[in-house]
Structure formats: C-alpha cells, structure tokens
Structure 1
Amino acid sequence: MKLIRTKYHWGARHIVALICMIAAAVFASWEQWKDIFTIAWNDEESSHILLVIPIAVWLVWIRRIRFRRCPPKASWVGFAIVVFGWALSAWSYNNAFDAGLHGGAVLMLIGAITAVVGTQVIANQVPGIAILLLLIPVPGTIRLAIAGPLQNATARATTLTLELFGFWVERSGNLVVIDGVPVAVAEACNGMRMVFALILVVYAFAFTMPLRNSVRILVLLLSPVTAILCNVIRLTPTVLLYGRAPSIADQFHEIAGWMMLPIAFFLLVLGMKALRWALIPTYRFTLASQSM
C-alpha cells in the first residue's frame, strides 16, 4: 500500500472510499443492475455486456502510469452525475423507458467513481470510463436498424465467397440455397450475437495500442467492416454445414462465433503490420519490439 501511495498518490482511504461509493451506487440501483446482467446472461444478442467490465479494467490498468500526474481528488461533479443518473432512472421508470433506466444506473456508477477520484483522473482514463456506457442493453429499435444493413451485406458477401470457391449458390433475400438445399440463415447472417462483441474487441485494440489519433479513429470507423468480415469467415462454413450436415451446424455456429473475437484481434494486428510495411505511420512512437 505504501508503494501505491508513493508512486500513484493513492492511499488506503482513497481505495476504501472508492469501494464504498461504488457499492453505494450499485445498491441504490440494484434492480437496474440485476436487470442488466440478467439480460446479458439470458439474451445472446446482449452477451457482449459481460465483456465490458474486464475490458474497462484492462484499459485503466494499461494507463495506470497516468495516475502519477493526476492524484485522486474528491469532486462535486461526481455527486452531480449521481443525482442526474438517479433522476434519469426515476423519470425512465415512470415512462417505461428501459434504456434510460439502465443508463441512469451506469451514470450513477460513473458519478460515484468521479466523486472519489476527481475529474482530472476521469479525463486521463476516458477510454476505460466511456466503454462503461456499453453496459446499457441496446434497445430493440437500434438493434433492428443495425441488423438490416448488416444482415444484407453479410448475406451478399457470404454468397460471393461460396461462389468464388466453386459452390453453386443462390440467394433470395437472406435465404441462401446451396446445391439445391435452402438454408435459412437470416438470423445467423445479421451477426447481432457477436457484432457488439467484435466492436468491443476493435475498441480495446484501438485504445490498447499507441496508435496515432487519426489511425485510431479510422480503426473505430471500420469496426462494422471488421464485424462483417469476421461474420463472413464464420458463416461460409456454417452455410455449408447447414446444407450438408445440419446436425452439427448449430453447434459449430455457436463455437465459431466466440472464435471470431481472437480472429478479429489477429486481423487488426495484421492490418497494422501491413500499414507499417507500406511505411504508413500508425504509432505515435516506436515500440521497443519494433525497433529491432
């Protein structure tokens, strides 16, 4: 504890106060938090929520050296955020607005943290704090708005990929017919079960690597493209299995979905290496491993 106090200006009182404030914020909005994690556990399309807190902790940890220049300092701004979050939850409860109800709970958590550490610490840890907003389950209307274009683009790309490999394929909307066998992959083709998880991976990559701001913005903007590419890699063999071995297709589709997370990270690393090979500057500074 003495080492932490010396290096990062954190003492036992700061840690105890932070734990108490977080516990109080969660307790005050317990029903909302229980609802958030029930949705995350039971709804496959919201399972990305389970990844948010580990990624947030990671993003704060890799920026821990910033604590040296911004010691924790209690801030009234945090208490104002807590009050606003509580008011938003109360209003949303009376108006049956689920996103606001959950969002209010998340704001209360962020406010509780801010009240202890201060705005300067929060400003230096924006990536790890901002990602907490993805704890809010995505409303159905937004999911449908994303699913439509993503479903169509993925179905088209999957059909084209199968044709390039010599398979006879027809597509009618989001119904793919391979070798005369219709494969109803409309639900699978939208990729909603994994798209937000893939966006989280892209976000974590963008703010883990010391990228230039322009490159970081580009990586984030291209996250839907990364999601489509990964879904095509996943769905091409899935369609083949649905057409020829349907008994194992569902199991393969589920396992392949989670495999897309490390594959997405690998594709991003490969993309950065390709840019560096082309002598396009991507990093703000040269890493020790790249100077050899």
Structure 2
Amino acid sequence: MGMIESRYGWGIRHMVLLVALVTAAIYAGQDQWRDILMIASRDEEASHIFLVIPIAVWLVWVRRIRFRRCPPRPSWLGVAMIVLGYLLMLVSFRQAFQAGMHGGAVLMVVGAIVSVVGTQVVANFFPAVAILVLLVPIPGNIRLAIAGPLQNATARVTTGTLEIMGFYVERSGNLVNINDMPVAVAEACNGMRMVFALVLVAYAFAFSVPLKNSVRLMVLLLSPVAAIICNVLRLAPTVILYGDADVPRSVADGFHDMAGWLMLPVAFLMLLGITRALRWAMVPTYRFTLASQSS
C-alpha cells in the first residue's frame, strides 16, 4: 500500500476516512435510506434501485486506471453538499416532499465522497456518480405519466405481433383479448416494472465502452424503444399463457416474473447489436480504435 500511495497518492487512510464519512452521512439520513429500501423492496416499479449501486461500482471498475492520474484532494465543496443535502431534507420534511427528502439523503452521501476524494476524482468518474440520482424513487405522478403511453404502445405492438403469429386477438385500450379471455397489459406485463431497469442497462452499456458522445446519446434515447421491444418479447408469450385455460395461473405468473429479469441481458445484447451494426455500416462509433478491432 505504501508503494501505491507514493506513486498515485492513494492510501489506506483515504479509504478509512471515506467509509467513515459515508457511514456518517447514511446515519444522518437513516430514516430516508430506510424509506428508500422499503420502497424498492415492496414496489416492483421501483425495484431498479437495487441495480444502481452495482452499476455504479462497475462503472468505477472499468475506469480504475484513472486513479493513477487523479490523486485524492479533500474539497470543501463536498462539505457544502453535505450541508445542502441536510437542509434539503429538513425543508422537504416540512413540505411533505418525499422526493426532496430522498434526494437530500443521496446528496449528503455524494458530498461525503467529494469531501474525501475531491472534484477531480468525481469528474473522472462522473458517470458512476451521476447514476446515483436514480437511487431516489421516481414520484408517482411521473411514473403514471410514463406508464400510460408505454402500456398503450406495448398493447398495440403486442396485438400486431400475436396476429402475425396466427392468433385471433382483439385490443380494447390496454386489454388484449385472446381466446375470449381478457388480459390486462398492466397485469401481465407492466412496462414500468422494467423501463427504468432497461434505462440503467443502456446507461451502463453506453459508459462501459469508449463510445462517442453522440452514440452514447443515441443509445440512451433508444432505451425507451428497447423497453417496448423487450416488453413485447415478454408480453406476447405471457398473454398466450394467461389466455390458455389449461395453463395454471401460477405457471403464467412464474413465467411473467422470470421473463422480466431475462429481458435485462436481452436489452444489453440488443444495444450491443446496434453498435455492431453501426460499425459494420462504417459509421464511427468509438472515440478510438480498440485493440480487439485492429486488423
């Protein structure tokens, strides 16, 4: 460790101080963190929160070589962020603004990190820091504004897909009728349960490889399209199972839950295929040529 510290400026004391301050920040906002954990555990539409920390750690890992050029420098900006986060929690508590209370708790933790490592380190690992915003549960009014159009689009595409497959189906709003049995899109496959998870997958993919910023933006903008496609891949067989009177409801429910998690690697492979297709079409996607791409 002494050799690493002499070369790069990092030492065990930085890790100890970082863990201590982050722990103190979490303790100061323990009620909010407990609330975030409860929401993520009980609300399936907020379960994407469990993916945020692993993805943030992954984004730090793929950039680990940057630790060599950005030694830690304590910053008073982090202290200011801690104070601001605490004030935000207090004001939001008085105004009964739940997102503000959660956001204040997250801001305090980010401030604790900045206080120890400094702004240069945060700038070099900004994608890993920015994703922490999604630790804040999405307010209900925003989720409803997204869920309605998403479910309607998914129902339309799913109906067309099942008709192409030879099934006789009818659609009425978000209801898909198959074999004279109505299946609600919200019941069989609520798009909101995976849309933010797919956005996280797109974000992790976009910032795990050295893509051009324009390509990264395209990947992020295409994530809602990927969400609809994955919803259809999940919903079409789910509707068939729910519409078959001979299939037990427990089997359909089990497939519905299992297919939801399977869609995450499917979305990742889909985004990878898009970048491969762009590269095949001679469209520059990477900021520099990777060793694996050289002839």
Q: Which residue of 2 aligns with 1:186?
A: 186
Q: Which residue of 1 aligns with 2:214?
A: 214
Deviations 1:223-242 (A, max 9, x none): 11111111111101001101
Q: Which residue of 2 aligns with 1:98?
A: 98
Query: Separation in 2 of the partners of 1:82 and 1:156?
Result: 47
Q: State yes or no: 1:250 paired with 2:248.
A: no
Query: Separation in 2 of the partners of 1:208 and 1:177?
Result: 42
Deviations 1:101-159 (A, max 9, x none): 00000000000000011111111111000000100011100100110110111111111
Query: Separation in 2 of the partners of 1:266 and 1:135?
Result: 25
Q: Which residue of 2 aligns with 1:150?
A: 150
CA contact (8 A) 1:198 1:261 kept: yes
Q: Which residue of 1 aligns with 2:197?
A: 197
> What amino acid is aligned across from residue 92 of structure 2 in structure 1?
S
Residue 185 of structure 1 and its aligned partner are, at CA, apart by 2.6
Q: Which residue of 2 aligns with 1:69?
A: 69
**Root mean square deviation of aligned Cα:** 1.2
Q: State yes or no: 1:284 paired with 2:282.
A: no
Query: Separation in 1 of the partners of 2:148 and 2:110?
Result: 33
1:265 to 268, 292, 295: 268
Query: What are the ranges of 5 or more consecutive residues in structure 1 without an aligned counterpart?
Result: none
Give the 3-state SS of the residue equivalent to 2:183 in structure 1.
strand
Query: Separation in 2 of the partners of 1:227 and 1:6?
Result: 47
Query: What are the ranges of 5 or more consecutive residues in structure 2 without an aligned counterpart?
Result: none
Question: What TM-score, normalized to structure 1?
Answer: 0.97
Query: Separation in 2 of the partners of 1:221 and 1:290?
Result: 26
Query: Separation in 1 of the partners of 2:243 and 2:253?
Result: 12
CA contact (8 A) 1:154 1:189 kept: no
Q: State yes or no: 1:89 paired with 2:89.
A: yes
Q: Percent identity, aligned pairs only?
A: 67
Give the 3-state SS of the residue equivalent to 2:17 in structure 1.
helix
Query: Separation in 2 of the partners of 1:195 and 1:246?
Result: 28
Query: Separation in 1 of the partners of 2:283 and 2:111?
Result: 40
CA contact (8 A) 2:178 2:243 kept: yes
Q: 1:165 to 1:84 in 2, by over 3 A?
A: same
Query: Separation in 2 of the partners of 1:38 and 1:153?
Result: 30
CA contact (8 A) 1:152 1:190 kept: no
Q: Which residue of 1 aligns with 2:59?
A: 59
Question: What TM-score, normalized to structure 2?
Answer: 0.96
